[in-house]
Structure 1
Amino acid sequence: MSGQITKAEFEIMHVLWDESPMAAADIADKLAEDTGWSLKTVKTLISRLVEKGAVAHEPDGRRYLYRPNVSRQSYARGATKKLADQLFGGRAAPLVAHLAEGEGLCEDDIQDLEALVKELKRDSD
């Protein structure tokens, strides 16, 4: 995938990550209430995502169906690594500490992190 996904393009990706393949009109319907975007705007954003390689399309009669070319998890992994590299020298611990200081971690977050650390330790043994 080439290029960063913009905030507006993310709206399209979230719809497609939740349900795909979908036609542009169906995507526009899903986003209409929250964004107020026209079908033309949605088609423009989809076009950009296709150009970036983030979304693929296939013909379905007179329309196209769209699906993500990159999984939510894969994109999140890359974006998180890039953020950690840019702000924290590639280290995860300062990134997690920053997140904890900013909004704080709830008990569930702490338990999830503890379980993850245990799993990582087990995998490295």
Structure 2
Amino acid sequence: MKNISDSEWKVMRVVWSKSPILASEIIEEVIKDTEWNPKTIHTLIRRLVKKGVLRAEKEKTYYSYYPAVSKEECVQEETKTFLEKCFGGSFNVMLSNFINGDRLSDDEINELEKLLENKKSR
């Protein structure tokens, strides 16, 4: 799967939440959060179809769009790319960066401890 851009994520979030969906409906939803031109959104839709992330099916005179991959698959791929790009693929380095950056609240630390304990017990 090819990586998708931040702009393409906006389109995919709409498609994941409302599928099947027409291009006009995608445009209507994306414009609510952006000031993009409808042609820009059409371009993003075409790119996503070309990348194989979005599927188009012709129904009479219009196309309906469906996700070709799940949100979870895209998140997993983005996570791998982020980890590789920023931390040389090392989860430990990333986690250390977040922990040492004082970005975690006590509640977040407790949640991380629970996640690690659950993972350990499996």
Give the TM-score, by structure 2 length. Answer: 0.85
Other structure's SS at 2:25 match: helix
Alpha-carbon distance between aligned partners in 2 of 1:106 and 1:20, rounded to the nearest angstrom: 36
**TM-score (norm. length: structure 1):** 0.83
- Pairwise CA RMSD: 1.9
1:55 to 1:120, Cα distance in 2 relative to 1, 3 A: same
Q: Is the 1:20–1:66 contact (alpha carbons within 8 Å) kept by the matching residues of 2? A: yes
Among the aligned pairs, what percent are the same residue?
34
Find runs of 4+ consecutive structure 1 residues off by over 4 angstroms: none
Alignment of 1:65 onto 2:54: no
Greater alpha carbon shift after TM alignment, 84-93 vs 16-25: 84-93
Give the aligned length: 122
Deviation of 1:84 (Å):
1.9
Q: Is the 8 A contact 1:24 1:39 kept in 2?
A: no
> CA–CA distance in 1 between the matches of 2:72 and 2:107?
20
2:3 touches 2:78 (CA, 8 Å); kept in 1?
no
Deviations 1:17-63 (A, max 9, x none): 22211111001111112212233221111000000111111122211
Is the counterpart of residue 39 in structure 1 residue 38 in structure 2? yes
Q: Paired residue for 2:49?
A: 50
Match of 1:4, SS? coil
Are the structure 2 counterparts of residues 33 and 101 from structure 1 closer, same or farther at C-alpha, using a change threshold of 3 Å?
Answer: farther
Which residue pairs with 1:85 in the alignment? Answer: 84
> Structure 1 stretches of 5 or more lacking a match?
none
Tell which deviates more after alignment, 32-41 or 98-107: 98-107
